[in-house]
Every structure is written in structure tokens, then in C-alpha cells.
Amino acid sequence: MRFLLTDEQREFGRSLDALLTAADTPAVLRAWAAGDHGPGRALWGRLADAGVFALAVPEAYGGVGPLPVEAAVACVELGRHAVPGPVAETLAAGVLLAGAGGPVAEEWLPAIASGAAVVSLTLEGYGRHAPDADAADAVFTVTGDELRLAPGPGEPSASADPARRLFRPEPGGAPVAKGPAIRAAARAAGDTAAFATAALALGCGEELLRATVAYVKQRTQFGVPVGSFQAVKHRLADTLLGLEFARPLLYGAAVELASEVSRPGAGAGSGEGSPGAGAAVAAAKVTAGEAGYAAARTALQLHGAAGYTEELDLAWWLRRARPLRDAWGTPSVCRARVLAG
């Protein structure tokens, strides 16, 4: 079994990094938080052209997936650059609709793969709020064995991340699919959402650490950079260890998910899941989420009062770390799932 990324996978990550570096994502974040989704949708289209959203859509519907390892590579980069929008939810919707099959899959999956559709969703057991529902072309909800298309985004709720607005979808909406396959597809979609969120959290933590290291090299006290102080070095080293420990768990979960897809009888659109894959995803989610949040605490402490300022781009990553830690499975929920698995 390979535990290293291939040259092609690493090049994929580098190409996304270059694309997002040129996109000025802090400006896109500010516009998104202010309700202007135009720059974010334009960036979404460029990411789709790079193949990001096709990674969760089966080939039969215009995608190239499911490819969990490549999805992890992509989401880490999107987390590093704090790309706005329901990234994890759209990827999870690809798995959900593929498992549902029928007309709803034929209508929406090609649009998801091409970037023409931004999708949010809610699933039983993961709360009732849909991120960025106001910017989504569709909000899907699953209750029991029924899949519904919400009639509207609903009322907004408070969110710690202004560029990740939360909505409670309007109730009702005619069922677009129902049956035992929906329940199984929802389980697989929940795993995908948690997995993608873990990768986003890891990328967010990496950028927070990078920015903090750069800052402590420049900030001086007593005529020397504060980064030369032993206590600062230890804090940064602990943060790095947390992130590096999360990385193999994330890619281990990707291998589990890929194995689940390829096992006999599963198929790309089966929507089935396994306890082993779910436990691996939960382990990755709790570890990456906690590591990203620890990186945010370190960044805030070592930046001092500058870390609180609205003008500093770092604030967007600081506000994102905790919501990513808690979305699609809080640490306590994930730990319980690991023990049960």
C-alpha cells in the first residue's frame, strides 16, 4: 500500500495553490461576507475547471470520481486559502445524489461537476443548519429515507465565521427521492462532508502556522526577533506536531474511503458506508479539527493585539478554525464514533 502522494497528486495540489494565490482570496472572502457572491462564484468556476468538484461525482454523471485522496489534496489547498462557499457540502451532495440515482442525480450531478451548481445540504444527526444556503443553487435535506429540495434558504443564524453564513432551510418541499437507498447514501454523504471538512481544517491550520512563523521572525523585543525565544519555539513546534500528526490520519481515511468504493458490490454510486471507514473519517476529523483550532490559538497569542484587527487578513482564518472543528461532527461526537468503530 502506498502512503505517499504520487507526483500527479502533488502537482494537482501545486496547481491549485498557484490558482488560489493569484485569486486574492482575502478580497473574495470580504465580498462573500458582505453578501456579494459574484467573485466567489467566479473562483468556484475556476476551481471546477481544475476538476475539484468532479472528484466526488461518478463518471456516469460527468465527473471523475469518487477520488477521496485527490479530494483531500484539493480541500487542504482550499482550506489554506480559505476559499468561501459550501465546499464540503457540495462534495457531499455529489455522493448523496449519486447514491439516490434517478432524475435528481441526472439533473444535478453534471452541474455540480462542472461548477454550474453550488449546493448546500443538511443531514439527520449533523444539525439543521445549511452553510451558505443563500448562495446555493439548491439546498437538499434528508429526513429518514426521504430526500427533499428545500423551497428556500430560510432564516440566517449566528455564525462565528462571517464568510460562512448559516441558515435553517425552509421546511417542506416535495420529496425528490425516497427509499432505503437514501438512508445509506446520507451516511456516505455525512462521511464525505466530515472528511472534506477535516481537510479544510488542516489547510486552515497550515496557513495559520505559516503566517505566525513569518510574523515572529519580524516582530522584535529587546532587540531580537520574538521567534528566537525558547517559549515561542516550543509553542510553534507543538502546533506543527499537531498538524503533522493529523495529516496521515486524513490520508488514511482517504484510503479507507477509496477502498470502500472499490470493494465488490459497492460501486461509485452505491451510497453505502462501513463502520471502519466512518471511524477513520471521525479520527481524521477530530485530529485535524483540534490541530487547526490549536493553530488558531497559537496564531492569536503570538500575533498579540494585531491578531484582533479587522484589517489583518489573518482574522479570516482565525474565525474559520473553530467552526471547521465543530462542523460535521464535534470533537466529542467524533471520539465516540472512533470508540464505537
Residues 6+ apart with CB under 8 A from 171: 150
pLDDT, averaged across the chain: 93
Given this model, what pLDDT does residue 275 score?
64
Range 87-91 average pLDDT:
98
Q: Binning pLDDT at 50, 70 and 90, where does residue 272 land? A: low
Radius of gyration over every alpha carbon of the chain, rounded to an integer in angstroms = 19
Q: Binning pLDDT at 50, 70 and 90, where does residue 311 land? A: confident
Q: What digits encode the pLDDT tens for the residues 25-81?
A: 999 999 999 999 999 999 999 999 999 999 999 999 999 989 999 999 999 999 999
Alpha-carbon span 176 to 161, nearest angstrom? 32
For residues 76 and 199, is the Cβ–Cβ distance under 8 A?
A: yes
Range 102-117 average pLDDT:
97
Alpha-carbon span 99 to 123, nearest angstrom? 14
Q: Binning pLDDT at 50, 70 and 90, where does residue 8 land? A: very high
Query: What b/e readout covers 264-300, taking b as 16+ CB neighbours within 10 angstroms?
Result: eebebbbbbbbeebbbbbbbbbbbbbbbbbbbbebbb
Cell, residue 57: 461525482
Q: Binning pLDDT at 50, 70 and 90, where does residue 341 land? A: confident
Asked if residue 92 has pLDDT above 70, the reply is yes
- Cell match 471547521: residue? 324
Range 201-217 average pLDDT:
97
Given this model, what pLDDT does residue 305 score?
78
Among residues of the chain, what percentage have pLDDT more than 70? 95
Q: Binning pLDDT at 50, 70 and 90, where does residue 264 land? A: very low
Given this model, what pLDDT does residue 263 score?
56
Q: What digits encode the pLDDT tens for the residues 219-262?
A: 999 999 999 999 999 999 999 999 999 999 999 999 999 987 65
Given this model, what pLDDT does residue 172 score?
87
